[in-house]
Structure 1
Amino acid sequence: MNSAAHSSNPSHSAGSFELIERVANRLVGAAFSPHRHDTYTVALTMAGVQAFNYRGSMRHSLAGQVLILHPDEIHDGHCSDEAGFSYRAAYVPPAHVQAVLGGAKLPFVVNGVSTNPALIAAAFNMVIDCAGVEDPGAYEDALYDLAHAMNNAAGRAATVRIANRTAVMRARDFLETAVVFGARLDQLEQVTGCDRWQLSRDFRALLGTSPYRYLQHRRIDLAKRMLREGAKLAEAAHGAGFADQSHFGRTFRKAVGLAPKEWLRSDLFRTIIL
């Protein structure tokens, strides 16, 4: 049996960044011939075993592992058994990674396959969580985490700099005014006069989270207030600046640990409003 199912979803990325491509693919009884990309291939094996030749050796990526192929490296792809495999991937331009790392050499992940938990988490965010999300800030945030996770996996120490507290506080104050309409890193760069990626690093260092996730938590706080006041889920999602109710639900669960409806029924919610 020769079959392959494939879908491609180009997605808008951050600021002046061009589109990036994301794919979902299932391969059974078929194979990719040797080829190369001019991007990083960031892929998560969802089921089965993905086999491929890479840098002179046969590699295998199992379900739950992450595959990171360096730009311009020849590779193929085939099934290791008749059951086939499925994966999801994003193709990230090296220029995007380079922007985050600020001139450092592009990271190279040895063997192309990793079980590094931080790298898997960053890849999951880039490949799956960001798919279909219209907010460019989601890509900026995922890109930052992925670039640094790849850099750490490659054994490179990050350069230590003193955080710019003034810029971070200005960025935080601006985010507080932009809860509904949102803000991108290029806007924060204009507000603070600080390079967007340095600002992102300093924000994490001083406030314990990224600018994007800080904004998402403020949106969740606003949505909670609206729900306590009797708003419907769709009204709270729209009123707090989420693109749609699905995005609101995913973000709410990440922040609270419960879906909005579960939170409304929870003892925690009843304790809050008593």
Structure 2
Amino acid sequence: MHDQRSTTDWVKHAPQTSSLERFEAFFVAHAFDAHQHDTYAIGMTLDGAHRFQYRGESNVCVPGEAMILHPDEMHDGCAGTDTGLRYQGLYVPPSLVQHIVKGKPLPFLKSGVSRDQRLVSAVFELLHAHELAPLAEDDALFNFVMTLAAVTGQRPARPAHHFAAALRAREYIHDNLDRPITLDQLADCAGRDRWSLSKDFRVFFGTSPHRYITARRLSQVKQLVQAGQTLSKAAIDSGFFDQSHMSRHFKRSFGIAPSRWYFPQCDG
């Protein structure tokens, strides 16, 4: 991790593991000249303030807000405080968004900055989803696009939902909990495209495929630990990468580390 008190500009790029380009950066003063992307430019300020010109107006993005710039819109960027600007960002191709909105206009946040906690949470999830699993990124992208559409006032489409497809996907999940599962695999077995299946699954089972898989794996961890298995072996046997991967999901779901839940005399 870079020192946020640095006096030297730096940019750290995340490994390119998907079609989404992620980075973290620190700038003392001037960051970018006026330019435009053919993607959505999305970011969150970690320290300081992100000042930029967008659609003829001066804007500032501070911690706790989300910056979402529309494709092909001119903008620049600089630090808005003397202590510099540190932020995380990523670029989302419009083609990925269009796969989800299916022919509707791309969602457009006119101001470029939002304090709406639904959108802030969705952006945070998307920025960090690559640290978990491919299905987590698909889930986070779907949630971001749908949340952006809702926040910007775009009325959701009402496509026909397919219970049989969602049921086939759920059965596939239960049969393959001990191995990696992708949204493409679920879509293939269900006979639906990946984003239609995501909507089907939410309608009929109340959550996304990724969250459903995680919940089932955590339930299996609980059963194995209560039967006397170690946390590390229970995590692997339930389909997590390792104990640390499982613990992050456990704490996110239950608000406490599994070691404290099952072995309260431990500090970990």
Normalised TM-score (structure 2): 0.91
**What is the match of residue 271 of structure 1?**
none
Q: d(CA) in 1 for partners of 2:7 and 2:248?
A: 36
Q: Does 1:171 align with 2:160?
A: no
The answer to whether the aligner puts 1:151 opposite 2:149 as a matched pair is: yes
Give the equivalent residue in structure 2 for 1:219.
Answer: 217
2:194 counterpart letter in structure 1: R
Alpha-carbon distance in structure 2 between the residues aligned to 1:218 and 1:176: 8
Determine what percentage of the aligned residue pairs are the same residue.
Answer: 36
Deviations 1:19-50 (A, max 9, x none): 32111112223322122222211111112211
Kept in 1: contact 2:45–2:62 (CA 8 A): yes
Worse-matched range after superposition: 175-184 or 222-231:
222-231
- CA gap 1:159/1:223 in 2 versus in 1, 3 angstroms: same
1:2/1:30 contact within 8 Å kept = no
Assess if the C-alpha contact under 8 Å between 1:249 and 1:260 holds in 2: yes
Equivalence for 1:55: 55
Secondary structure at 1:3 match in 2? coil
What is the aligned partner in structure 1 of residue 13 from structure 2? 8
* 1:207 counterpart = 2:209: no
Displacement of 1:141: 0.3
Matches for 1:106-255 after TM superposition, within 5 Å: 106-128=106-128, 130-133=129-132, 135-255=133-253
Three-state SS of the structure 2 residue aligned to 1:45 is strand
Alpha-carbon deviation of 1:204? Answer: 0.6
Spell out structure 1 runs of 4+ moving beyond 3 A: none
Q: Does 1:69 align with 2:85?
A: no
- Taking the aligned partners of 1:9 and 1:221, their CA distance within structure 2 comes to 32
Report the RMSD for the aligned CA atoms in angstroms.
Answer: 1.8
Residues 148 and 253 from structure 1, CA distance in 2 versus in 1: closer, same or farther, beyond 3 angstroms?
Answer: same
Contact 2:29/2:85 (8 A) holds in 1? no
SS for the counterpart of 2:48 is: strand
Aligned counterpart, 1:83: 83
Q: CA offsets, 1:39-95, max 9 Å, x none?
A: 211111112211001111110001110000111222111111211221111211111
Structure 2: which amino acid aligns with 1:221?
A: S
Q: Which moved more, 1:210-219 or 1:153-162?
A: 153-162
Q: CA deviation at 1:229?
A: 2.6
Native 8 Å contact 1:31 1:79 kept in 2: yes
Offset at 1:266?
5.3
- The aligned counterpart of 2:3 is none
Structure 1 range deviating more: 223-232 or 86-95: 223-232
How far the C-alpha of 1:2 sits from its partner, in A, is: 5.3
Structure 1 stretches lacking a partner, 5+ long:
14-18, 268-274
TM-score if structure 1 supplies the norm length? 0.89
| Secondary structure of the corresponding residue to residue 111 of structure 1 | coil
Q: 1:47 to 1:166 in 2, by over 3 A?
A: same
In structure 2, list runs of 5 or more residues that go unmatched: 1-5
d(CA) in 1 for partners of 2:50 and 2:43? Answer: 10
Q: Is the 8 A contact 2:130 2:136 kept in 1?
A: no
- Asked whether the equivalents of residues 119 and 150 of structure 1 are also in contact (C-alpha less than 8 Å), the reply is yes
The whole-number CA distance in structure 1 between the counterparts of 2:77 and 2:20 is 21
Q: SS where residue 9 of structure 2 aligns? A: strand
Q: Aligned to 2:174, what secondary structure does the other structure show?
A: helix
In the TM superposition, residue 233 of structure 1 has moved relative to its aligned partner by: 2.7
Distance (whole Å) between structure 2 residues aligned to residue 257 and residue 22 of structure 1: 28
What SS does structure 2 have at the residue aligned with 1:34? strand
TM-fit CA distance, 1:237: 2.1
